[in-house]
Amino acid sequence: MRIAVGGIHTECSTYSPVLMAGEDFRVLRDADLLGAEYFDFLDAAGIEHVPLLHARAVPGGPVLRSTYEAFKAEFLERLQVALPLDGLYLAMHGAINVEGMDDAEGDWISAARTVVGPGCPIAASYDLHGNVSQRIIDQLDIFAAYRTAPHIDVRETMVRAWSMLVETLRTGNRPGVAWAKVPVLLPGECTSTEDEPARSIYLNLPAFDAKPGILDANLMIGYVWADEPRATACAVVTGTDRQAASKAAEEIARQYWNARENFGFGPVTGPLEEMLDIAASATTSPVILADSADNPTGGGVGDRADVLRALIARNWHSALLAGITDRPAVEVCFAAGEGASLTLRIGASLDPASVPAEVTAKVLRLDDSGAAADRQAVVEVGGITIVLAARRRPYHNIEDFRRLGLDPKSVRLLVVKSGYLSPELAPIANPNLMALTDGVVNQDIANLASHRRIRPVFPLDRGFDYVPAATLSARWRE
């Protein structure tokens, strides 16, 4: 039996002015796809896996239409060549926005269905921060989404989706998908599965899996920074019994709706100056401060210097800020060399709405992996160490710092562009603070510009009634 594998994976803030192009994606094809760490589970007796194309990018702004169409055309061409197939597995995210297009995942999956035909089962894995539509659901037989945020079950989720597909091919028992929209749009920072009430809701999902007729139960938080019609939370259930799957989807949807007023930030959270006051008075270290509205892993631009300017104004000592995306500043540092002192303009290289910091800096370290777009520079401004990156990227892993000769545990204050902290940084935070900063993924959800969302939706609207109503996929209805 032959299973083709591919997909496209990123999320896009429609509030970002920085469009994503082909060079922003890591593209895997052929043996590189099958050999990639997050696809190395593709091994089952009697199954031949056919690699197509998988494009993955750090979240950002909308994707250029030409970039998306080029990826889709190559994917479909490879899919056509791979026929005949017994199954198709798509590793998706669910929150792509393509300029001039609604529901890019719906477009991608529908196009794939047209190629493979109605008889080929399609399985998809999703980020729980993806947005779902009826168009997407109608083309799928199997759906599975992350159950943790921070996401520590990415591989586990992919295995769930793939395993259901393999079982379908071996038994011939074709599952289907039911889903129920929930008119709630909350940010991931308020719905972390480390905190209540999300923790209990998600921990209860495996109990649904154990019920007769249910294979996989999911709660999609959705992606709040996409002003588009499909942006909503929902429950999605894969099952073999239509009634059981519909009932489960409605029950999960009801749980989330009933808990909507109880969600909140996990760490101590507030305006930037208040958080810096707390950090200044802390007797423990490292204090880790999340610059939440400029978080690249949430779709933020990553080039704002607001926190840096605030630290300079306070004459702060023993701080590490990682990092600020600024390719021009990195290139200036490389031209000057390690040890050089220079006048530097940091920040606002991508987003014209932000304000740069004009500083005198010393170049401490230059990191060059061979590609100009991947260069990094470490500079010092007074008592503040700053990591500059040529490419938009997060600094969430200890290895990110170790590579640059930095120890995040050795400073009084570590500033990262993040919402909830990554699994590697959270354990060393002492304490963890989150600043409500400005940016394209800001936490002022109730006041987000909303021109295309379907209303009403909480918390943009209040005082309306909701009764969960599950819908089956068109394939299952037929």
Q: Could you tell me the two tokens for 339?
A: 């040890």
Taking alpha carbons only, the member of 460, 130, 425, 58 closest to residue 267 is 425
Instruction: Indicate the pLDDT class of residue 318, thresholds 50, 70 and 90.
Output: very high
Instruction: Outline where DSSP puts E strands in 76-174.
Output: 87-91, 122-126, 142-145
Taking alpha carbons only, the member of 258, 238, 109 closest to residue 168 is 238
Q: Could you tell me the two tokens for 31?
A: 């043996």
Share of the chain above pLDDT 90, in %: 98
Q: Residue 55's CB: how many other CB atoms inside 10 A? A: 25
Element (H, E) at 160: helix 154-171
Residue 123 has pLDDT above 90, yes or no: yes
State the chain's mean pLDDT as an integer.
Answer: 97
Q: Residue 355's CB: how many other CB atoms inside 10 A? A: 13
Q: What is the mean pLDDT of residues 91-105?
A: 97
Residue 312 has pLDDT above 90, yes or no: yes
The answer for residues whose C-beta is within 8 angstroms of residue 193's C-beta and 6 or more apart is 147, 148, 149, 199, 202
389: Cα separation from own chain's centroid: 20
Q: What is the mean pLDDT of residues 235-259?
A: 98
Residue 373 has pLDDT above 90, yes or no: yes
Ramachandran angles phi, psi of 59, nearest 5°: -55, 155
Rg of the chain's alpha carbons, rounded to an integer? 23
Length of the chain: 478
Predicted confidence at residue 14, as pLDDT, reads 98
Predicted confidence at residue 478, as pLDDT, reads 80
- Alpha-carbon distance of 8 to 105, in angstroms, equals 8
Task: Tell me the per-residue pLDDT of 216-239, one tens digit each, with 9 for 90 and over.
Answer: 999 999 999 999 999 999 999 999
Question: Is 422 in a helix, a strand, or coil?
Answer: coil
- Angle in degrees, CA 379, 280, 397, rounded to 5: 50
Predicted confidence at residue 155, as pLDDT, reads 96
Predicted confidence at residue 360, as pLDDT, reads 97
Pair type for strands 341-346 and 48-57: unpaired
Q: With 0-12 CB in 10 A as exposed, 13-18 as middle and 19+ as buried, what is 84?
A: exposed
Element (H, E) at 25: strand 25-29
Cα torsion 312, 314, 319, 325 to 10°: value is -30
Q: What is the mean pLDDT of residues 426-436?
A: 97
Instruction: Indicate the pLDDT class of residue 85, thresholds 50, 70 and 90.
Output: very high
Residue 379 · residue 312 · CB < 8 Å: no
Taking alpha carbons only, the member of 230, 251, 221 closest to residue 239 is 251
The answer for residues whose C-beta is within 8 angstroms of residue 224's C-beta and 6 or more apart is 185, 186, 187, 231, 445, 448
CB under 8 Å, gap of 24 or more: what pairs does 358-364 form? 359/312, 361/386, 363/333, 363/336, 363/337, 363/338, 363/339, 364/338
CB under 8 Å, gap of 24 or more: what pairs does 162-167 form? 162/3, 162/41, 162/42, 162/89, 162/123, 162/125, 164/123, 164/215, 164/216, 164/238, 165/3, 165/87, 165/89, 165/121, 165/123, 166/3, 166/44, 166/47, 166/87
Cα torsion 109, 113, 116, 119 to 10°: value is 130
Instruction: Indicate the pLDDT class of residue 43, thresholds 50, 70 and 90.
Output: very high
Residue recorded with tokens 């799928």 = 140
Task: Tell me the per-residue pLDDT of 127-174, one tens digit each, with 9 for 90 and over.
Answer: 999 999 999 999 999 999 999 999 999 999 999 999 999 999 999 999
Residue recorded with tokens 């259930």 = 237
Residue 149 · residue 129 · CB < 8 Å: yes
